[in-house]
Chain A
Amino acid sequence: MTQKKRSGAKTFVPIGFNILASLLIFFILLPLLLTLLSTSVGTLLQTLQDQVVIDSISLTFKAGAWATVMGLLLGVPIAYLLARSDFHGKAIIEGVIDLPTVIPRTAAGIALLLVFGRTGILGKTFAHLGISFTDRLAGIIVAMLFVSVPLLVNTSRQAFQAVNRDLEQAAQVDGASAWKVFWQISLPLAWRGVLNGAIMMFARGISEFGAVIILAYSPKIVPVLIYERFQGYGLEAATPITVILLILILALFAILRWLSNSISE
């Protein structure tokens, strides 16, 4: 975790870096700002009354929340493992965790379809339990989980690594079990990083398009609905929903960031 810079500390960076930095910030903010300003408040309010849009937003958030919960359940243990133990093949495991971020999203969707599709290994197995994935909520969750869980694992791992090992070892010496050390020392201290990872994962998950559309074209999450409106009815129909999604994500992002900052202080 980074230390907060003491005020008055002299910056020592090469000349021109601040210009380049501003350029990048401008490059990120300009398209977003212009999109936000492209629709009138009236149109936005009208779009917010569109039942299809409402359903799509709630579906998107529901799927994102499920994916994040599963990500926490499966991702935190491996993050802790990677932060606290050295084992043979650790580098390989770290590479595997990063894989979903480096392959094209459409490729991820196809790979998931082959496994979770009706004739795939897991698709067949889950069918016995009455769970199917193509064009179902479960499919959306799986796709979101696959593409966004690396963010949670990597952020959480860094957070665990930043926890002072002496504290854990002291507790261990006093006879605390590994479970107890994790719950009462490591997790409370790494909590902010884990939450940050969960936020990143959630935001990344609900924005996912490429992998989701291959596994579940419908029910339509907001990114798919935006695509469908854009394809079917043009830019004018797609922009209001785009703006709504942007506002929701930005607001959520701000709230959760604020929350994680205040928790840690």
Chain B
Amino acid sequence: MQPFQQLEEAFEAENPDVDVQMEFHGSIQVMRRVTDLHRELDLVATADQSLLPMLMYATNNPETGEPYANWYLSMATNTITIAYTSKSKYADEISAHNWFEILSRDDVRVGISDPRFDAMGYRTFMAFALASDFYSDSSIFGNFVHRQFKYPIRLKTEGEDISIIIPEIVETNPDSHLVVRGSSVALNALLESGEIDYAFEYVSVANQLGFESVKLPPEFGLNDPKLEDYYNRVRVELDFQRFASVEPIFTAEQIRYGLTIPTNAPQPELAIRFIEFLYGPKGQQIMKDNWQPLFIPAQIDQPENLPAELKEFFGL
């Protein structure tokens, strides 16, 4: 959120004729604004780029018959961390090697985001599944979810493949030590106020807000492109179809943020100006200052569909 707010300010300073209006939601929710609620947005950014093909390429705008998007920019990566403060329980004990054990203790309050709506939510469970696999100890995942949810979250292993099954209703038990919110940004205030001891966050966010953090090793932190095959064995399945318009399966992979201009954007020319600003020197600096440097050169999915101005801008 922070880099985007800074981008908004800097962009508006250079473009006084434009008032950028931003809203922030869980990654899946962002796209549902366009595809389900039929909001006309000029720019959509998400913490998981694979959601763009899944939800926007695959859904047609009933008015035009065209998909809601047909290209995206792969912006930047991030690392999963466990954010905490000096007041958090066992703050002096937690490390990159025992985090899963500390977070499974009954007297530790842990904030997670909803795996049904937010990328950080399903990535949290991916990290636990990967840790279980890495240490060959299925109790790592089991202890974390055991007796916490009204409808259990399960781990299914078939040979090399690991599936995490998320039920239709994610609701914690009355005595649970887990606190679930719709998106990871909603956990920050709870962590600040001492309501929770730990929250799953991106390293950039934890740094921006000045939290202490345990940066997960690359095996679980989902930040290393060299481990792609290793990550890919884990997937999160949403165990319900009732409301879903697409097959709800998320495969673990290196975290990559995605950005696109929806095909029904009312002011695509302004969105293009914003992207050019983002990839210009000032935009790049803002992202770098927020611990989230852009991939340079720009990585583009289906670049043939990029608007002509952006093709030129990126030298295609």
Distance to closest chain B CB from A87 (angstroms): 37
Given contacts A134-B179, A135-B179, contact A52 B194 (CB under 8 A): no
Distance to closest chain B CB from A42 (angstroms): 15
Partner of B180, one of A134, A218, A237: A218
B37 at the interface (CB under 8 A from A): yes
Q: Could you tell me the dominant secondary structure of chain B's interface residues?
A: loop
Q: Say yes or no: A119 contacts B243, CB within 8 Å.
A: no
A120 CA to B263 CA in the complex, in Å?
A: 48
Distance to closest chain B CB from A60 (angstroms): 15
* Residues 220-247 (chain A) with a chain B CB within 8 angstroms: 220, 228, 231-237
Interface membership of chain B positions 174-190, coded 1 if the CB is closer than 8 angstroms to chain A and 0 otherwise: 10000111100000001
Q: Say yes or no: B109 contacts A118, CB within 8 Å.
A: yes
B29 at the interface (CB under 8 A from A): yes
Q: Say yes or no: B171 contacts A114, CB within 8 Å.
A: no
Partner of A232, one of B117, B180, B181, B190: B117
Distance to closest chain B CB from A213 (angstroms): 10
Q: Say yes or no: B32 contacts A234, CB within 8 Å.
A: yes
B237 at the interface (CB under 8 A from A): no
Nearest A residue to B196 by beta-carbon distance? Answer: A118
A233 CA to B238 CA in the complex, in Å?
A: 13
Tell me which residues across on chain A come within 8 A of B8, comparing CB atoms.
Answer: none
B195 at the interface (CB under 8 A from A): yes
Tell me which residues across on chain B come within 8 A of A136, comparing CB atoms.
Answer: 174
A64 at the interface (CB under 8 A from B): no
Q: Say yes or no: A233 contacts B182, CB within 8 Å.
A: no
A170 CA to B116 CA in the complex, in Å?
A: 67
A217 at the interface (CB under 8 A from B): yes
B193 at the interface (CB under 8 A from A): yes
A113 at the interface (CB under 8 A from B): yes
* Residues 154-179 (chain B) with a chain A CB within 8 angstroms: 169, 171-172, 174, 179
Distance to closest chain B CB from A172 (angstroms): 50
Nearest B residue to A229 by beta-carbon distance? Answer: B243
A220 CA to B180 CA in the complex, in Å?
A: 12
Partner of B243, one of A114, A117, A218, A237: A237
| Category for how many chain B residues contact A | 20 to 34
Nearest B residue to A232 by beta-carbon distance? Answer: B117
Interface membership of chain A positions 44-58, coded 1 if the CB is closer than 8 angstroms to chain B and 0 otherwise: 000000001000000
Tell me which residues across on chain B come within 8 A of A233, comparing CB atoms.
Answer: 36, 243
Interface membership of chain A positions 115-137, coded 1 if the CB is closer than 8 angstroms to chain B and 0 otherwise: 00111000000000000001110
A246 CA to B169 CA in the complex, in Å?
A: 23
Q: Say yes or no: A118 contacts B182, CB within 8 Å.
A: no
A228 CA to B182 CA in the complex, in Å?
A: 8
Distance to closest chain A CB from B89 (angstroms): 11
A219 CA to B109 CA in the complex, in Å?
A: 16
A48 CA to B182 CA in the complex, in Å?
A: 24
Interface membership of chain A positions 178-216, coded 1 if the CB is closer than 8 angstroms to chain B and 0 otherwise: 000000000000000000000000000000000000000
Tell me which residues across on chain A come within 8 A of B195, comparing CB atoms.
Answer: 113, 117-119, 134
Q: Say yes or no: A217 contacts B181, CB within 8 Å.
A: yes
Tell me which residues across on chain B come within 8 A of A232, comparing CB atoms.
Answer: 29, 32, 116-117, 243
Tell me which residues across on chain A come within 8 A of B179, comparing CB atoms.
Answer: 134-135, 217
* Residues 188-221 (chain B) with a chain A CB within 8 angstroms: 190, 193-195
Q: Say yes or no: B172 contacts A231, CB within 8 Å.
A: no
B25 at the interface (CB under 8 A from A): yes
Tell me which residues across on chain B come within 8 A of A52, comparing CB atoms.
Answer: 169, 171
A113 CA to B174 CA in the complex, in Å?
A: 19
Given contacts A117-B194, A119-B193, contact A218 B25 (CB under 8 A): no
Distance to closest chain A CB from B124 (angstroms): 17
Q: Say yes or no: B193 contacts A217, CB within 8 Å.
A: no
Nearest A residue to B245 by beta-carbon distance? Answer: A234
Q: Say yes or no: B171 contacts A219, CB within 8 Å.
A: yes
Interface membership of chain A positions 79-123, coded 1 if the CB is closer than 8 angstroms to chain B and 0 otherwise: 000000000000000000000000000000000011001110000
Distance to closest chain B CB from A195 (angstroms): 33
A114 CA to B190 CA in the complex, in Å?
A: 10
Tell me which residues across on chain B come within 8 A of A228, comparing CB atoms.
Answer: 182
Q: Say yes or no: B172 contacts A218, CB within 8 Å.
A: yes
Tell me which residues across on chain B come within 8 A of A220, comparing CB atoms.
Answer: 171
Distance to closest chain A CB from B18 (angstroms): 28
Nearest A residue to B183 by beta-carbon distance? Answer: A231
Tell me which residues across on chain A come within 8 A of B171, comparing CB atoms.
Answer: 52, 218-220
Partner of A235, one of B37, B116, B181: B37
Given contacts A52-B169, A217-B181, contact A117 B193 (CB under 8 A): yes
A63 CA to B239 CA in the complex, in Å?
A: 31
> Taking beta carbons and an 8 Å cutoff, which residues of B are in contact with A?
25-26, 29, 32, 36-37, 87, 109, 116-117, 169, 171-172, 174, 179-182, 190, 193-195, 243
5 smallest CB-CB distances across A and B, nearest first, come from A119-B194, A233-B243, A234-B36, A117-B195, A237-B243
Q: A118-B195, A134-B195, A217-B181 are in contact. List 6 more A-B contacts (CB 8 A).
A: A113-B195, A119-B194, A217-B182, A234-B32, A234-B37, A234-B243
Report 8 cross-chain contacts, Cβ distance below 8 Å, ordered by A residue: A119-B193, A134-B195, A135-B172, A136-B174, A219-B171, A220-B171, A232-B32, A235-B37
